[in-house]
């Protein structure tokens, strides 16, 4: 029996790592801006908890058969699954949303831009992965491009940035997600939807005591249009779709190459701001875009090394 065209299309998509790794930062690009924009309306832990709890409930029906098939591997590998759920689900986004309470989106994006460097360092230390000179130059070039986009070419803006508690929280989040990206290579041999359901469920469960404490302190989100749209966006795009794409991309090309695509976050954020918010497209955007794409091309088109 010939599979339907939609299934064949999804199958082909699952084998195109660089497209998947481009889609992930596209879906993530609005997360920092939204987290900062609604920081006064939606408590940070509640935003993270409902993001993963609703994501788990949406994924569960699609994952049910796969979960039953993978249950032996899940039981055997539950410790690694719990570590990955803590690092990539519970800790990362909660720390980001907490950090954005007291720092700016630009500072948060600058912190995020250090992640590819951390991923390369950790993959070398933990997995012994070789870092080629081409990869090293590529990550530096794309990092410079990310900084140019974020600062809009005004490097003097970096001098005016003062690090605070929020920046520290976001940097801790970035370190945690770098560990998550590297340790994905050691995930149990279960299907992608099973993996999503298990880690989303574990991550939401880990956040349950924190969201209860946050509620007892009087920080409870109001049920209004802003809250519902915010939770809806972060549940579907930066969570379900982005994690499916990123996890598969790491599986196909390794953490070093996959991590480099995180530098597309400020690029996509700037493009979306121009398209949706009417912001001006500056020469710095074009320069930064060229550096980011050039750095990624340099690191990914050379001889294969993860």
Rounded Cα distance between 121 and 191, Å, is: 28
Q: Taking the CA atoms of 189, 195, 199 and 201 in sequence, report the sign of the dihedral they define.
A: negative
Q: Note whether 168 and 57 are within 8 A (CB).
A: no
Q: Where are the alpha helices (DSSP H) in 184-254?
A: 192-216, 225-235, 242-253
Residue 9 confidence (pLDDT)? 58
Full pLDDT tens readout for the chain, 306 residues = 445 555 565 668 788 999 999 999 988 887 766 766 776 778 899 999 999 999 999 999 999 999 999 999 999 999 999 999 999 999 998 998 898 888 776 677 778 888 898 998 999 889 888 888 888 898 899 989 888 887 777 777 666 666 678 888 989 999 999 999 999 999 999 999 999 999 999 999 999 999 999 999 988 887 888 888 888 988 999 999 999 999 999 999 999 889 989 989 888 877 776 776 566 777 888 898 899 999 898 888 755 544
Q: Which tokens hold the place of 125?
A: 């230390």
Rounded Cα distance between 305 and 14, Å, is: 20
Annotated domain spans of the chain: 21-300
As to burial, measured by CB atoms within 10 angstroms (0-12 exposed, 13-18 middle, 19+ buried), residue 4 is exposed
């Amino acid at each position: 029996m010939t599979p339907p065209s939609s299934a064949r299309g999804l199958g082909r998509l699952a084998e195109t790592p660089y497209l998947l790794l481009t889609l992930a930062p596209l879906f993530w690009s609005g997360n920092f801006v939204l987290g900062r924009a609604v920081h006064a309306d939606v408590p940070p832990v509640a935003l993270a908890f409902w993001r993963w709890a609703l994501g788990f409930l949406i994924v569960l029906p699609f994952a049910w058969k796969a979960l039953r098939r993978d249950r032996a591997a899940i039981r055997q590998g539950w410790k690694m699954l719990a570590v990955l759920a803590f690092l990539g689900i519970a800790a990362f986004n909660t720390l980001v949303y907490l950090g954005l309470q007291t720092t700016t989106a630009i500072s948060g994006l600058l912190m995020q831009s250090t992640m590819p460097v951390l991923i390369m360092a950790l993959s070398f230390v933990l997995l012994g992965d070789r870092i080629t000179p081409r990869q090293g130059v590529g990550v530096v070039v794309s990092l410079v491009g990310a900084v140019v986009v974020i600062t809009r070419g005004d490097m003097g803006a970096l001098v005016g940035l003062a690090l605070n508690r929020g920046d520290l929280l976001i940097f801790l989040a970035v370190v945690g997600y770098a560990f998550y990206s590297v340790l994905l290579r050691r995930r149990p041999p279960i299907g992608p939807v099973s993996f999503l359901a298990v880690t989303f469920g574990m991550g939401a469960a880990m956040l349950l005591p924190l969201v209860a404490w946050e509620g007892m302190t009087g920080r409870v989100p109001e049920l209004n249009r802003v809250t519902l749209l915010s939770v809806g966006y972060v549940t579907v795009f930066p969570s379900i779709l982005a994690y499916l794409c990123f996890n598969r991309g790491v599986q196909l090309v390794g953490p070093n190459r996959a991590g480099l695509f995180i530098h597309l976050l400020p690029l996509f954020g700037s493009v979306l701001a121009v398209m949706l918010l009417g912001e001006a497209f500056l020469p710095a955007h074009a320069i930064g875009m060229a550096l980011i794409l050039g750095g990624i091309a340099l690191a990914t088109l050379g001889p294969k090394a993860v």
